[in-house]
Amino acid sequence: MDSQRHAGRTAVVTGAGSGIGRATVIRLAQEGAHVVGCDIDEAALSVTRGELVAAGLQASLEQVDVTNQADIDRLLVAISEPVDLLANVAGIMDHFVPLSEVDDSSWERVLSVNLTGVMRLTRAVLPGMQQAGSGAIVTVASEASLRAGAAGAAYTTSKHAVIGLVKHVAYFYGPLGIRSNAVLPGAVATGIGASSVPTSEWAMERAMAALATMGSVAEPGQIASAISWLGCDEASNINGAIMTADGGWSTA
Ligand SMILES: NC(=O)c1ccc[n+]([C@@H]2O[C@H](COP(=O)([O-])OP(=O)(O)OC[C@H]3O[C@@H](n4cnc5c(N)ncnc54)[C@H](O)[C@@H]3O)[C@@H](O)[C@H]2O)c1
């Protein structure tokens, strides 16, 4: 493995203020990329900034709501160079809420961040990648892309749907030199835990049944390494892969 495998590349990472996104910013910066990390939460970005400084690393950090097209337009203008790698990491959970209990605003928010946000960022970087004739997009999906027991109705739907988008981009843009792949984590120790706790007894019972086979909880860096690999040239023939990073949970 080339320890500077992202040298000279520009990488955009969403969800950079916490968990997997923060670990990805640090990992890609260590591996030589010019990283632009974005998050809706400015305070969370400050923590990432502190970790970068402590590690002697540099990255640009921008407050961006991935659901807001104006924010994305502003981001692309600020970057002003072609994006080589996009890591779609930002996402929110749904408290395992079953469909009959879902309210419209929660449904729309979860779909908006986990699906439409990925579409907006990916759509924004594609023209530059097409012009360059190369690019890599890595989207963080979930165990909930494969099964119904890892989350509630909105999150499960969003993470199944985003796989369709990942495959669409792989199929249409692969011949133009652009790769699109998904990483599907199982449980990871991040900030998302707060919105993962089931709010009803029934949801808790259904969650516990599925989680019984889960195995150990991963560290964010373990997912960041998968993102980094899929995004680098060592994975040059990998396009449209739906890659679990769940310690084997999906085999149960
Ligand atoms: N942690 C897990 O167990 C787990 C499992 C499977 C998949 N995932 C996925 O991993 C990804 C990262 O989640 P995490 O576990 O690191 O969670 P996290 O909560 O630690 O980090 C998510 C980050 O996304 C940011 N964010 C939320 N909405 C945003 C928006 N509209 N615009 C920009 N940023 C926004 C949050 O501020 C936060 O900093 C998500 O897509 C999540 O669905 C996580």
Query: What digits encode the pLDDT tens for the residues 138-161?
Result: 999 999 999 999 999 999 999 999
Low-confidence ranges of the chain (pLDDT < 70): none
Residues 6+ apart with CB under 8 A from 235: 136, 179, 181, 229
Per residue in 47-77, pLDDT (tens digit) is 999 999 999 999 999 999 999 999 999 999 9
The two structure tokens encoding residue 38: 């974005």
**Inter-residue contact 98 to 202 (CB < 8 Å):** yes
Q: Establish if 252 belongs to a structural domain.
A: no
175: CA distance to ligand 1 center in Å? 30
Position 84 scores a pLDDT of: 98
Residue 191 domain boundaries: 10-243
CB of 151 sitting under 6 A from ligand 1: no
Q: Name the residue type at position 26.
A: I
**Inter-residue contact 3 to 76 (CB < 8 Å):** no
Share the mean pLDDT of the chain: 96
Residues 6+ apart with CB under 8 A from 194: none
Residue 185, beta-bridge partner list: 245
Q: Establish if 4 belongs to a structural domain.
A: no
CB of 140 sitting under 6 A from ligand 1: yes
**Inter-residue contact 148 to 156 (CB < 8 Å):** yes
Catalytic site positions: 155
Position 1 scores a pLDDT of: 73
The two structure tokens encoding residue 192: 């998302």
Nearest CA to ligand 1 atom 41: 91
Please state the pTM of the whole predicted model.
0.98
Residues 6+ apart with CB under 8 A from 135: 82, 83, 84, 85, 86, 125, 126, 128, 129, 177, 178, 179
CB of 71 sitting under 6 A from ligand 1: no
CATH number of the domain residue 132 falls in: 3.40.50.720
Q: Establish if 83 belongs to a structural domain.
A: yes
H helices of 87-198, in order, are 104-111, 117-132, 153-173
Q: Return the SS3 of 15.
A: coil
Q: Establish if 237 belongs to a structural domain.
A: yes
Position 32 scores a pLDDT of: 98
Q: Cα(61)–Cα(41) distance, rounded to whole angstroms?
A: 11
Q: Establish if 29 belongs to a structural domain.
A: yes
Q: Establish if 248 belongs to a structural domain.
A: no
The total number of structural domains in the chain stands at: 1
Residues 6+ apart with CB under 8 A from 224: 20, 23, 24, 26, 27, 28
Burial of 58 (0-12, 13-18, 19+ CB in 10 A): exposed
